Structure 1
Amino acid sequence: MSKIIKTILTPALKLWLNSQVEKLEALNLFIEGNDYQILNGYLPEVTLSSYRLIYKGLSLEEIKLKVNDVRINIGQILRGQSLKLLEDIRISGKVAISNESLKVSISSNILQDGIKYLLNTLLKNQEFTEFFQKINIMDSQLEEIYIDYSHITIQIAFLYKDAVQSITIKMKPNIVSPQILSLKEVEIKSLSEEIVCLNEEILIDLGQDININQISLDNGKLFCQCELKIYS
């Protein structure tokens, strides 16, 4: 490892990473590049791993990430200023989410907003419309989420007739394309404990900033191989 990487760039990059997340534990960081490339503000490859990372309230585990072709403000860094990205980057890698990490993330905006998006998507299916006519989606709250060997089960609480009620939704995630997530074998347990199943899959558009290449469930954990765009 060159002296520039060890004494200047690695600490600056660690500070920048910590500014992007709420928590980052046991960070291992490796920067590839020679002094000529680095002095021109170019990092051919950066890899990192961490035991736990909390991003916007969402706790992730077993993180292994890589990013190529990073452009940074090396001149300002050498003068003691903070690291900044000069171009957008795409980070690729693997993360895991366990039932334990979901419990501590239950109130995160990422999960709560994701549930509201899911409910709005389910409203487009006539089979489920009757279950949501009595629910104010904007006031609904994710109460519990659980991963087993093949399905994700969520419990959503809402106010109905001046009392807190809940429904349970069970689903099996799959990938249609890098930007499209499919939910299969969807079933809802209603207020009256009636269960209605949807034969058709639910398609979730993830947007252009994220690509999911692989997703799997095993022993209470969700494993995901993905790519995320970070703007400069």
Structure 2
Amino acid sequence: MPDQNFPSINANKIRVITQVLTTALKLWLRTQVSQVSQLEVEIRASDRQILSGRIPLVSIFATHAVYQGLLITQIQIVAENIRINIGSVLKGQPLRLLETVSVVGELTIDEKDLNASISSDLLSTAFNDVLVKLLPEYFPEFQPINWQKILLDNQQIILCGIPATNSKTTSLEICVGLQLLNGHELQLTHIPIKHNQEPLLEGSHVYNLDLGSDVDIQELTLIPGKLVCCGRINVNP
């Protein structure tokens, strides 16, 4: 039913505007990822809100979305208080955010999808940075690791790799306990490292990883074969 404050705009026209907006939003979402298998978008807004370019709530569900080389098995999010360039969208131009949007949701990554993403810059850079911090004398910044396999266990990640610049075939295994320290900081604990099955770093060690002020993780769960993350993130224009 059309908003009474817009008597000259009938229900059919509002439906067309909503369809155009939904299509534009899907196109914008697809520009944020390099690949997505399933994408569902639901817009909840009144006629007045749609015409003013303000959307109180958008619900998004996607499967097998690839973001910066990372394959996300499933993601379900809700974004609130969105302000967009509705006038330009109705003229066929790309959708653009006009303000920072707060997004709440749940992200799931299966072990097989994580392994399919193991060569991505996002993961390899993060893993190598941790290794350089822990053992700078053994693995300097200019000696990257070719990561071969990731295993997910109860609140634990096991990484297996081979030093890229080593002329001999050597193996590296890192066992990392993962805990949520606060909303934007992860704590990697008890990090034994084996080099060719020989202990290189033993005992209990701690490394904190700051994800930035735009991230607020409320729950992080690691179970055999799966990682689940719930929280909030700010999406900037």
Alpha carbon RMSD of aligned pairs, Å?
A: 1.9
Q: Deviations over 1:98-154 (max 9, x none)?
A: 11101210111110111122113314xxxxxxxx52334333232221112331001
Partner of 1:84: 96
Task: Give ranges in structure 1 of 5+ residues lacking alignment.
Answer: 124-131
CA distance in 1, matches of 2:83, 2:24: 14
SS at match of 1:17: helix
TM-score (norm 2): 0.87
Q: Write out the 4+ residue segments of structure 1 that deviate beyond 4 Å after TM superposition.
A: none
Which protein has the larger Cα radius of gyration, Structure 1 or Structure 2?
A: 2
**Unaligned stretches of 5+ in structure 2?**
2-13
Give the whole-Å Cα distance in 1 for the aligned partners of 2:25 and 2:164: 46
Distance 1:22 1:195, change over 3 A: same
Paired AA for residue 110 in structure 1: L
Q: Which amino acid aligns with 1:222?
A: L
Aligned residue among 175, 178, 185 for 2:183: 178
Percent sequence identity is 30
The number of residue pairs the alignment matches comes to 224
Matches within 5 A, 1:47-126: 47-123=59-135
2:131·2:139 contact (CA, 8 Å) conserved in 1? no
Distance (Å, rounded) in 2 between the aligned partners of 1:222 and 1:14: 26
Q: 1:23 aligns with which of 10, 35, 59?
A: 35
Deviations 1:192-219 (A, max 9, x none): 5226433243211112232221111123
- Is the deviation greater in 67-76 or in 112-121? 112-121
1:64 aligned counterpart, secondary structure: strand
Q: Provide TM-score, normalisation by structure 1.
A: 0.89
**SS of the residue 1:199 aligns to:** coil
